[in-house]
Amino acid sequence: MTHIEHSADVSPSASIGTQSSIWHLAQVREGAVLGENCNIGRGAYIGPEVVLGNNCKVQNYALVYEPAVLADGVFIGPAAVLTNDLFPRAINPDGTRKGNDDWEAVAVTIGQGASIGARAVCIAPVSIGAWAMVAAGAVVNRDVPAHALVAGVPARQIGWVGTAGHRLEYREDAWYCPVTSERYELGHPASTAAL
């Protein structure tokens, strides 16, 4: 059963999957699509036409601007921001206020199982690969490969992570998860500085 708090602002044209929860003061805009079993935290914002897959978690006060697309199992940390404007301005060169037709929205796309840490900012257009992890406070201004661990301002790759979210360890000829013992073929350790 879907749960929507009374103080949440959910557009009638939004599609909310079963077993999803939308908490206090959250806003889900027109045409947004939330998959099954999603959790939208207090004060979070989901823009028009944004698409979330199943089992996504958007933490308190995170801002997901259109036309973002999140695959299944994506985690967006508290107060993280997914932007959508390459050239943000309140006014046009002639001093008139910008309207909806005065700019072109660009997307942040996030692959399955990826995590965006608290207060991180993803500057569109950018793609975050499946199972990647963006550290808290990072500013992502270029694409992030699948399973990459990125941190800093601007974000740089500092390692690899597995599906369990733990940093992978390099042994002999491959990467291994210290928790699940899964083996990953992701390149030599020196390649982690490439991003």
Tens of pLDDT along the chain (195 residues) come to 899 999 999 999 999 999 999 999 999 999 999 999 999 999 999 999 999 999 999 999 999 999 999 999 999 999 999 999 999 999 999 999 999 888 899 999 999 999 999 999 999 999 999 999 999 999 999 999 999 999 999 999 999 999 999 999 998 889 999 999 999 988 766 555 443
- Burial degree of 70 (CB within 10 A; 0-12, 13-18, 19+): buried
Of 169, 163, 121, 159, which Cα lies nearest the Cα of 142? 121
Q: Is the peptide bond before 154 cis (omega within 30 degrees of 0)?
A: yes
B/e letters for 117-128, b = 16+ CB within 10 Å, e = fewer, are bbbbbbbbebbb
pLDDT at position 101: 86
Distance CA 160, CA 191 (A): 10
pTM: 0.94
Q: What CATH superfamily classification does 3-87+104-148 receive?
A: Hexapeptide repeat proteins (2.160.10.10)
Distance CA 7, CA 24 (A): 5
Q: Where are the domains of the chain?
A: 3-87+104-148
Distance CA 157, CA 117 (A): 14
Distance CA 29, CA 186 (A): 38
Of 16, 104, 98, 11, which Cα lies nearest the Cα of 52? 16
C-alpha Rg value of the chain to the nearest Å: 18
Distance CA 25, CA 192 (A): 40
42: how many CB neighbours lie within 10 A of its CB?
Answer: 16
